[in-house]
């Protein structure tokens, strides 16, 4: 870290609150990433195509018609990037495995070169004193499986079980921190209902089927990991946002309950054995046609931790004509306060509210914030990118994390999204979330001041 801090480049690092857990506590400080958003090398060494390979190369789907074919070239530059993680003093690195890199057709024959690549990444992490945290599914479904119906096909349970088994058997001797799914509501909702993410479907029926099959796979993946890696620390992650009413009257409060059930409880309560939150969101009963005998017993799993991924809050009002939720989100530009490049409101208190909310569930043991961060306009200037807005965002959210922790929240870790500026799905390369600036034309890396601030925070 010290080689990056020169003279006035260190300014502002001490302007924020460095309150953090004591050195005696077990608290995981890390950074997160994902395969498709960083690796590139989309068609090398036997990798099969994913739904995102097809979607991002379809004109009109991604901002500026960009794609993830190269992304950050992490496939080739992982040693350089992990060295930066080490020099920052960050001990935990979350990344995902690419399903089509390991099983090009989604099932059947394993690609040895894909396994060998992740062996190199994992072994390099361990050699550098960085603990790898693996996410099994971060949205890049093998295209061959989408051709068979994807997440809307119940056969997904068999396909997913084979994939998890291959990964657990091969990497479980070295990797002890695992996450099953990344934000299932996003890849089912954006991918199968709104059609703005891969695979680009717009079907209520496909969405509900995908939700149920993802719920079953969430628990199934946990059971496979528990059997094959018995000493593993196993979790799964959910996207979530604190939900507030536009007005305090009855109708808007009802809208909050329905939206909260969809955004924050849909995948959490089934894993806890509580079933789907149909009492507060009756529209979910449409899913009953996809629920088979015995499924209620297959939905729960006793996870070691819940991965919470939150960036903003939602303000809602009652809307008669919006199906299922009967609620409408108030656009962030109509709310007071700072807005990020993703058009998300900066609302740090929402993190506190979510941690208190999930800590109240008796079945949740630990909470790890597996993603939190912000995209702002970054302009390189010399050896260091100054990004005070990102530093302020991280500082304010960490203050709320520590406030919740002091009040008994079960939070045990915090991972920044993300290490590198990367491919941000439908938004392409425009939003920059990284602690490290990436020039996508030259693939050169440049640290941001927020990286140095975070390094000081976690090593204080």
Main-chain dihedrals φ then ψ at residue 261, nearest 5 degrees: -60, -35
Q: How far apart are CA 316 and CA 350, in angstroms?
A: 14
pLDDT tens-digit map of 147-201:
999 999 999 999 999 999 999 999 999 999 999 999 999 999 999 999 999 999 9
Tens digit of pLDDT for each residue in 361-389?
999 999 999 999 999 999 898 889 999 99
Q: What is the largest CA-CA distance in the chain?
A: 67
Q: What is the pLDDT of residue 6?
A: 44
Q: Which domain holds residue 143?
A: 2-458
Mean pLDDT of 299-313: 98
DSSP 168-191: HHHHTTT--EEEEES-HHHHHHHH
| pLDDT at 382 (0 to 100) | 83
Name the one residue in this structure whose structure tokens are 């590198």.
420
Residue 8 has pLDDT above 70, yes or no: no
Give the rounded percent of residues in the chain with a pLDDT score beyond 90.
Answer: 93
d(CA 454, CA 416): 9
Q: Mean pLDDT for the chain?
A: 95
pLDDT for the residue 292: 98
Q: Please write the tens of the pLDDT for every residue from 402-426.
A: 999 999 999 999 999 999 999 999 9
Catalytic residue numbers read 183, 371
Whose CA is closest to 54, among 63, 42, 70, 44? 42
**236, 316 contact by CB (below 8 A):** no
- pLDDT tens, 321-332? 998 999 999 999
| pLDDT of the residue at 383 | 87
* Cβ pair 33, 422 in contact under 8 A: yes
Average pLDDT over every residue of 439-453: 97
Q: Give the CATH number for residue 8.
A: 3.20.20.80
> 43-70, pLDDT tens digit by residue?
999 999 999 999 999 999 999 999 999 9
State the Cα–Cα distance between residues 140 and 27, nearest whole angstrom. 30
Number of domains in the chain: 1
Q: Is the pLDDT of residue 308 over 80?
A: yes
| Spatial distance between the Cα atoms of 96 and 114, rounded to a whole number of angstroms | 13
Span of 55-59, 335-339, 358-362 with lowest mean pLDDT = 335-339
> Whole-angstrom Cα distance, residue 172 to residue 136?
12
3-state SS, residue 359: helix
pLDDT tier at 16, thresholds 50, 70, 90 = low
For 284-305, write each residue's pLDDT tens digit.
999 999 999 999 999 999 999 9
- Indicate if the pLDDT at residue 13 is higher than 80: no
Give residue 9's pLDDT band: very low, low, confident or very high (50, 70, 90).
low
pLDDT digits (tens, 9 = 90+) for 70-96: 999 999 999 999 999 999 999 999 999
Residue 3 has pLDDT above 90, yes or no: no
Exposure class string for 151-190: b at 16+ Cβ within 10 A, else e: bbbeebeebbbebbebbbebbbeebbbbbbbbbbbebbbb
């Amino acid at each position: 870290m010290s080689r990056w801090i020169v003279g006035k480049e260190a300014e502002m690092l001490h302007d924020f609150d460095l309150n953090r857990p004591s050195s005696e506590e077990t608290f995981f400080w890390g950074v997160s990433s994902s395969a498709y958003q960083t690796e590139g090398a989309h068609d090398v060494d036997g990798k099969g195509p994913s739904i995102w390979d097809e979607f991002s190369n379809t004109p009109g789907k991604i901002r500026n018609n960009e794609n993830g074919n190269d992304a950050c070239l992490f496939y080739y530059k992982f040693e350089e990037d992990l060295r930066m993680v080490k020099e920052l003093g960050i001990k935990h690195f979350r990344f995902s495995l690419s399903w089509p890199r390991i099983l090009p057709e989604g099932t059947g024959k394993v690609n040895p070169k894909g396994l060998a690549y992740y062996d190199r990444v994992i072994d390099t992490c361990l050699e550098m004193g960085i603990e790898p945290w693996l996410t099994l599914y971060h949205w890049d479904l093998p295209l061959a499986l989408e051709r068979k119906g994807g997440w809307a096909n119940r056969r997904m349970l068999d396909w997913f079980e084979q994939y998890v088994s291959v990964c657990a058997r091969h990497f479980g001797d070295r990797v002890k921190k695992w996450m099953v799914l990344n934000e299932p509501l996003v890849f089912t909702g954006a991918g199968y209902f709104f059609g703005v993410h891969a695979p680009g479907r717009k079907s209520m029926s496909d969405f509900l089927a995908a939700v149920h099959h993802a719920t079953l796979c969430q628990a199934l993946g946990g059971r496979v990991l528990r059997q094959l890696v018995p000493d593993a620390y196993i979790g799964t992650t959910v996207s979530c946002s604190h939900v507030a009413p536009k007005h305090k009257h009855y109708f808007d409060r009802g809208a909050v309950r329905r939206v909260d059930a969809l955004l924050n409880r849909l995948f959490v309560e089934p894993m806890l054995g509580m079933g789907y939150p149909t009492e507060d969101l009756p529209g979910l009963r449409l899913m009953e046609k996809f629920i088979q005998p015995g499924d209620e017993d297959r939905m729960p799993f006793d996870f070691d931790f819940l991965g919470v991924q939150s960036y903003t809050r939602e303000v809602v009002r009652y809307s008669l004509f919006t199906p299922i939720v009967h609620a409408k989100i108030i656009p962030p530009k109509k709310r007071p306060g700072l807005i990020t490049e993703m058009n998300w409101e900066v609302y740090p208190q929402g993190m506190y509210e979510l941690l208190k909310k999930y800590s109240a569930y008796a079945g949740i043991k630990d909470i790890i914030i597996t993603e939190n961060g912000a995209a702002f306009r970054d302009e390189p200037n010399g050896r260091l990118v100054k990004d005070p807005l990102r530093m302020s965002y991280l500082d304010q959210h960490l203050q709320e994390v520590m406030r919740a922790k002091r009040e008994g929240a079960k939070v045990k870790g915090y991972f920044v999204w993300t290490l590198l500026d990367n491919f941000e799905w439908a938004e392409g390369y425009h939003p920059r979330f990284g602690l490290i600036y990436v020039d996508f034309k030259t693939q050169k890396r440049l640290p941001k001041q927020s990286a140095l601030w975070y390094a000081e925070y976690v090593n204080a």
